[in-house]
Amino acid sequence: MSKKLTELADSISNDFLSEFEDDVRFTKPDIEAIILLAVVKSYEAFIKDK
């Protein structure tokens, strides 16, 4: 399960970074916080589906 979550987190991170890395409104800590939030939300959804 943790491997799946790690893969999901990596996928979200890569998608988000590729989308917003050139956007000056987002700093690296902002991007990391958004990724972390997305991972937490994904995990919550995963737990509810179980």
Ordered by start, the domain boundaries in the chain are 2-49
- The more confidently predicted of residues 45 and 22 is 45
pTM of the predicted model as reported, rounded to 2 decimal places? 0.48
Residue 3 and residue 33: Cα distance in Å, rounded? 21
The whole-number pLDDT of residue 1 equals 59
The whole-number pLDDT of residue 41 equals 87
Buried-exposed string 13-49: b where 16+ CB fall within 10 A, e elsewhere: beebeeeeeeeeebeeeebeeebeebbeeeeeeeeee
Q: What percent of the chain has pLDDT over 70?
A: 90
Contact 28, 1 (CB under 8 A): no
**Cα–Cα–Cα angle for 37, 15, 30, nearest 5°?**
45
Give the pair of three-digit tokens for residue 49: 């589906």
Evaluate if residue 27 carries a pLDDT over 80. no
